[in-house]
Structure 1
Amino acid sequence: MKALLCKEHGPPEKLVVEDVPSPEPKKGEVRINLKAAGVNFPDTLIIRNLYQFKPDLPFSPGGEASGVVDKLGEGVSHLKDGDRVLVMCGNGAFAEQIAVDASRVIPIPDDMDFDIAAGFTMTYGTSHHALKQRGDLKPGETLLVLGAAGGVGLAAVEIGKLMGAKVIAAASTQEKLDLCKEYGATEFINYSDEDLREGIKRTTGGAGPDVIYDPVGDKFFEPAFRSIGWNGRYLVIGFAGGEIPKLPMNLPLIKGAAIVGVFWGSFTAREPKVHQENMTELMGWLNDGKLKPYVSKRFPLEEGGEAIRWMMDRKAMGKVLVEIGD
């Protein structure tokens, strides 16, 4: 089978496509013929050895995918050959096949598109958990989403609207803000043209947002936090802007505000029951047509490195996929 491999840590241009042996499923595992894989910001970190999890070299990036069960390992009973599934694997999804613990594999309906399945769980799961459990977003509150047209950002816009919030989208181009409008945002800040603090003041009447969703970090963190409303909750999702920022700790005191970390991967492992409840709610919204995942670009497996570069350069709007099988 073919796989996109990281054989030495570095930029995506160092990734190579090679033929490797098909994996044999061990006890409790299943082998899946993959159809598509989602590209996510952690993929840009893991290949540079900058992520929390550090797989041994060589490895294939890609933390989520969809496909068809090909072979069962000993003891697997809730799946069967031919099942259409999505898989959360951490890494290894930029390949034609993967063997993974069966607990990370979820059957999908026959009418669910493989592309949607491949890119749904991580972005929507992260944003839903962030807004529901960590941000305690309530109907009528104001939500500011930074990096609002990216994968997790656009999901946060959509879910925030569903939860009854007023959603302010902040992004770097008018094209990105136009997409956010389609997904439920009603106020907009183009931080390439407008000072972020002035934009927040304008869109909140000076009161500041109740919840700020931040997957960007870097230079936007401090001005956004200085603008948060009283008793606000600042959700730290990630640092796509590059720099991990620091904050004078008198500011949370003055604002009566909370800085709240969001680590969806650990949440799913530590609180599996709540995670399952979240996924049930998300799948219900998807089936009811209340969620409409947006895929902006697709790359073939041979161009998987370019897909990660696209993500690194912050060109992505909504979801970016690597297409694998027919």
Structure 2
Amino acid sequence: MGSSEDEQVGFASLPSPLVELHDERLTRHGVHLQLKRDDLINPEIPGNKWRKLRYNLQAAREEGFSRLLTFGGAFSNHIRATAAAGQHFGFETVGVIRGEEHNPLNESLAYATKRGMVLTYLDRATYRRKTEPDVLAALQDRFGPCYLLPEGGSNGLAVRGVAELVSEITTDFDIICCATGTGGTLAGIAAGLAGQQRALGFAVLKGGQFLEEEVRRLQREAYGVATANWTIEVDFHFGGYAKRTLALDTFIADFHERHGVTPDWVYEAKMLCGLFAHIEAGAFSSGTRIIAVLS
């Protein structure tokens, strides 16, 4: 088998396209908005999931691992992407899922098992300790040597992969926005910015203030230093992770009607809804150029 880098050639459709959004709400406030369509990189491993996994897959191969073990909630896009990547690149995969097993499996977990992933479950108290040595040792004893991927795939290698997104953007912009679940995407994007450009993350889970330290930690892991060119908005979680409300569903339906795009309700819809609320509230001066990352 060739190197991971050789295997990856042609797998991801890069750079992902930029699409100008035409919307009277933008025109009214003089704001320019483009969508960075990272969701089109690969149908099974889209967007930030591919960018986060890319260098981790290379490291796993170089270190001689044949099995990936990772963590996530029952609706985790990272779990899905790891299962698909494992099948495509020849790794066995284990998904450690937060909470109790529920049958039938939801669509996300059913997809993962169809891609060959073995699922195991940790009660919520133990899951909170998932990075502690005794919990990891028990998992390794059960499943054998594994390359460990953290929840959401966010580590230093992931941050470096995500940072490459910024170099693909050939148009001038002032602010770039992303949904924020574990902090890895925001950490990478912010690390790739230049000059006065800023990144704005929208937390998709309740109580997202802790993500600020996570972003700094991930940037230090990747580059040895944290940047100050980003902020996190924590008021658009719509009830918490993988929770939705009528207001969010109404926004998704309206966005699809206006633009022919149906944003993912767990992540991107919350970010876009928060962004448009900020625009309508006059948070951005006329002439501001914004990019919103869909992944």
* Structure with more strand by fraction: 1
* TM category, shorter: 0.3 to 0.5
Q: Which structure carries more relative contact order (alpha carbon 8 Å, separation 6+)?
A: 2
TM-score, length basis structure 1: 0.35
TM-score, length basis structure 2: 0.37
* Structure with more helix by fraction: 2
Q: Bigger radius of gyration, 1 or 2?
A: 1
